[in-house]
Structure 1
Amino acid sequence: MTPRAGLTADRVTRAAADLADRIGFAALTVSGLARELGVRDASLYSHIRNLADLRARVAVLATAEMADQIGAAVAGRAGKEALAAFAHAYRRFAVRHPGRYAATQIALDPEVVAASPGHRRTLELTGGMIRAYRLAERDQVDAVRLLRSTFHGFSHFEATGGFLHGRDVDASFARAIDALHVALENWPSHDKEGTP
């Protein structure tokens, strides 16, 4: 393999993200990336501190890419249309970019998250989409957790071949979105903490 000249931290991170999509984020190593780039391991340490730093960089990159795709999908939409656009963009990214998506799920240092435009954009997009349902602030947290769990679980099962029934997966996802919309429109109110 011919060594690649002109490596930068950004190029190393993007190469790592591409490799993660092919082999899995958990299998990503500095040595494996160095082989992919045709350089010695030591050459990468001019651009990254260690494997944890590399993985965090991939997570920040992937979160920004995912936020960009979701943002483009939900632009100009509200209510159920925004929910559906958000859900479909989330699912597409997770299934088409499994390594990048896995990176978006890792825990990062708070300082890294605070400095990440993609994480801020994700919060803005999620908040904008959920606010249309006019839920109380603490109910918004519960609702977002429900949405994230549903999107993540569905995407994971789809990507790993977990849906064995012959029913069309797209049809099932559309029904899941319908059900989530109904749940959000009819969210149970609470008079006191923990009391329906």
Structure 2
Amino acid sequence: MARVGLTTERLVRAGAELADEIGFEHVTPAELARRFDVKTASLYSHVKNAHDLKTGIALLALEELADQVSAAVAGRAGKDALIAFANAYRDYALEHPGRFVAARFRLDPTTAAASAGVRHARMMRAILRGYDLAEPHQTHAVRLLGSVFSGYVDLESAGGFSHSSPGAQESWTEILDALDVLLRTWPTGS
């Protein structure tokens, strides 16, 4: 197989590209083998099985997304950091729909703990420190923001906002403004 230069990294990157083209759920070793014009068995010295391939794609997507978000929020605080985080997240999801789905692939606890997913959580919590939220409110806020960002992008990607006014960008901007107000006035009573 030296003629095609298969490596684990090359297969994972090709799998990520394939995920963006045909959807993460359709990425299989057989589909990837067709892309390289090799037998499926040729891949198994580099990836154990479909789950191993998908885990690799998920890890790559988490790393790429963390890098993009990190660059966007660097030097920002408060609302500016919140908006930069949200926009980087949305941009990545719209540019890489298959990888975005992959970034939410369920990882085993050990793999998850060693992944760039930890960086995502740290960045989100760093942004929330600017809103002076203590635990458990900070965890609730992390979950709310993740739900809003993921949900909005899922609906937007599926065309859910393309048949009505106002446009998706206008709604996105207003939602981020509302989240900022909510975070500044978070109810901390019991």
Q: TM-score range by the shorter chain?
A: over 0.9
Matched with 2:71 is 72
Matched with 1:60 is 59
Structure 2 counterpart SS, 1:18: helix
Which residues of 2 match residues 70-109 of structure 1 at below 5 A?
A: 70-109=69-108
1:127 aligns with 2:132: no
* Paired residues of 1:4 and 1:39 also in contact (CA < 8 A): no
Aligned AA (1:188)? P
Structure 1 gaps, min length 5: none
Report Cα offsets for 1:167-188 as digits up to 9, x if no partner: 1211110000000000000000
Structural RMSD (CA): 1.2
Structure 2 counterpart SS, 1:176: helix
* Paired residues of 1:83 and 1:129 also in contact (CA < 8 A): yes
Offset of residue 157 of structure 1: 0.9
Q: Which runs of 4+ in 1 moved over 2 A?
A: none
Percent of residue pairs bearing the same amino acid type: 48
Aligned length: 188
Matched with 1:51 is 50
Structure 1 counterpart SS, 2:136: helix
* Paired residues of 1:56 and 1:108 also in contact (CA < 8 A): yes
Matched with 2:136 is 138
In 2, the alpha carbon distance for the partners of 1:126 and 1:43 equals 41
Matched with 1:179 is 178
In 1, the alpha carbon distance for the partners of 2:63 and 2:108 equals 17
Structure 2 counterpart SS, 1:134: coil
In 2, the alpha carbon distance for the partners of 1:77 and 1:115 equals 26
Offset of residue 122 of structure 1: 1.2
TM-score, normalised relative to structure 2 = 0.96
Aligned AA (2:112)? V
Offset of residue 4 of structure 1: 5.8
Offset of residue 97 of structure 1: 0.5
* Paired residues of 1:70 and 1:86 also in contact (CA < 8 A): yes
* Paired residues of 1:59 and 1:104 also in contact (CA < 8 A): yes
Offset of residue 123 of structure 1: 1.9
Which residues of 2 match residues 108-119 of structure 1 at below 5 A?
A: 108-116=107-115, 118-119=116-117
Q: 1:133 to 1:26 in 2, by over 3 A?
A: same
